[in-house]
């Protein structure tokens, strides 16, 4: 997974949601220029703006900050478990086989 700057991550998510910078700026009551400054990493949003952006995009703050937060093992394991929910037996068996190969390689 590529590491993105905060602004690029915000821009990527905004585009995935089908919004323009102007539309998102209006939703969180920011000027378009300020929104573009955030997306080009010239400005850092305040905590309240971060919260407003996450709420407007219907995402978590972690979705915006995932490239900057070190995850401990418990968080990583919970994330992996969530991703596998709803998979069928064959899919889980395949994942188990892949994980086994990776673990063996790590042990070398």
Contacts of 76 (CB under 8 A, 6+ apart): none
Q: 28 with 60, same domain?
A: yes
Q: 61 with 77, same domain?
A: no
> Does the pLDDT at position 72 exceed 80?
no
The CATH number of residue 15's host domain is 1.10.260.40
Residue 1 lies in a domain: no
The better pLDDT of the pair 11, 62 is held by 11
| pTM, rounded to two decimals | 0.64
The better pLDDT of the pair 78, 45 is held by 45
Domain that holds residue 86: 73-107
Distances from the Cα of 97 to the Cαs of 34, 53, 92, in angstroms?
A: 48, 40, 9
> Does the pLDDT at position 68 exceed 90?
no
Q: What is the pLDDT of residue 25?
A: 97
Instruction: For 84-96, write each residue's pLDDT tens digit.
Output: 999 999 999 999 9
pLDDT band at 40 (very low <50, low <70, confident <90, very high): very high
């Amino acid at each position: 997974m590529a590491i993105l700057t905060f602004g690029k991550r915000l821009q990527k998510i905004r585009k995935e949601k089908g919004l323009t910078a102007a539309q998102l700026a209006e939703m969180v009551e920011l000027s378009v220029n300020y929104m573009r400054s955030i997306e080009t990493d010239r400005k850092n949003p305040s905590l309240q703006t971060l919260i407003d952006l996450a709420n407007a995009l219907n995402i978590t703050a972690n979705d915006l900050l995932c490239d900057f937060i070190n995850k401990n093992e418990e968080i990583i394991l919970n994330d992996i478990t969530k991703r596998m929910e709803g998979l069928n037996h064959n899919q889980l068996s395949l994942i188990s086989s892949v994980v086994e190969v990776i673990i063996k390689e790590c042990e070398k």
